[in-house]
Amino acid sequence: MSVKVLVVDDSAFMRSFLIKYIDTDPRLEVVGTAANGKEAIERVKALQPDVISLDIEMPGMNGLDVLRTLMREHPVPVIMLSSLTSDGASETIESLQIGAVDFIHKPSSTFILDIHRIMGELNNKLYAASAVKPKRLSPPRTRVQANAPVGFAQRLSSVDRMQRQVKRLLAIGTSTGGPQALTALLSDLEAGWDCPVLVVQHMPPQFTASLAARLNKISPMPVVEAVDQELLQNGKVYIAPGDYHMTVERASDGYRIALHQQAERSGHRPSVDELFASLAPLEELQRYLVLLTGMGKDGAEEMLRARRSGQATTIAEARESCIIYGMPRAAIEAGGAEHVVPLGEMAEFLTGCMRR
């Protein structure tokens, strides 16, 4: 049976364009369209689609408003169609945090030579998303960060932070569903972590800065997009920039981030495997490798190698909490995950590990 798709876009041309391409995929069937937000909500209730393609930029009730309403009243898997503007990137990250499964760049004349790849990507994502059971998510909490007089780490000055010796590292890899998972995990972590946190999220270049900015609003630790040769600091979260591998190197003054654009690894740049591999030689550090929700198997190879060699504590998100049980599953089935932990228990589990 084909997956039922609802197409939501205020442009008649774009609706026609999307129907044409989606219906070429035998796995998918467009069962209806909507030209505005109010109509979209009515069509969802009437047609009961398996998945929705939803434009972010619509007059009146825009895509974010529609998504919030759906996640509150009638959760359904959603793939967002996003522009490449800075505003579009910020809104896209917000949509992923509040319930959208994934996104693609909205096709335009700029992409005419690449249109088949883009639409193929949309069809694949619609099909994959149709299996997701979206949850009614509470809005992320806004947390007071390190400049407020709350807690040990928050009393430390920036100079104090830089002078504290890095003795352990937490590295996290994620893909589809990652913004939701990272929002949940980072908002649950407590300030005062004596550890830098490095995150590889599969995402294009225009979006990782927006991801860092939005996560920074909910995390008790500062969250930044990583910069080449940046000195790692305890209690800080570093997001790999889109289209750059992020690795860690020893330096005379501690440990520094190294960014490069060598070939994709495991089909990705940034690659989780590339980050995990760079931590292998740092035997003097306690290392914790985590794989969260995502399609594919990036991270599984190096997680297995790390566990076999005793390089690190290896942790995969449990199936019941994953939006897409791909990357964690690959690691678990290969034998690379020493621990399997649901997302809601991950912060407590990691805190316990750090205190041992």
Q: Which of left, alpha, beta for 164 (phi over 0: left; psi -120 to 50: alpha)?
A: beta
**Of the candidates 122, 73, 63, which has an alpha carbon nearest to the alpha carbon of residue 96?**
63
Q: Do the Cβ atoms of 291 and 316 come closer than 8 Å?
A: yes
Residues 6+ apart with CB under 8 A from 172: 182, 185, 197, 198, 199, 200, 290, 291, 292
- Half-sphere exposure in the Cβ direction for 351 (13 Å, CA): 12
Instruction: Count the neighbouring beta carbons within 10 Å of the beta carbon of residue 51.
Output: 23
Q: How many Cα atoms are found within 13 Å in the side-chain-facing hemisphere of 117?
A: 5
CA 252, chain centre distance (Å): 33
Instruction: State the pairing for strand pair 245-251/254-260.
Output: antiparallel
Give the span between the Cα atoms of 79 and 73, in whole angstroms. 18
Q: Could you tell me which residues are beta bridge partners of residue 315?
A: 290, 339
Q: Round to whole Å and give the CA distance between 89 and 103.
A: 10
Q: What Rg value do the Cα atoms of the chain yield, rounded?
A: 21
Residue from 62, 175, 71 nearest 54 by CA = 62
Q: Which of 53, 159, 61, 162 is nearest to 103 (CA)?
A: 53
Active site residues: 175, 202, 298
Tokens for 39, please give them.
């109509």
Q: Which two structure tokens, joined as six digits, stand for 24?
A: 């070429």
Cα separation, 103 vs 107, whole angstroms: 12
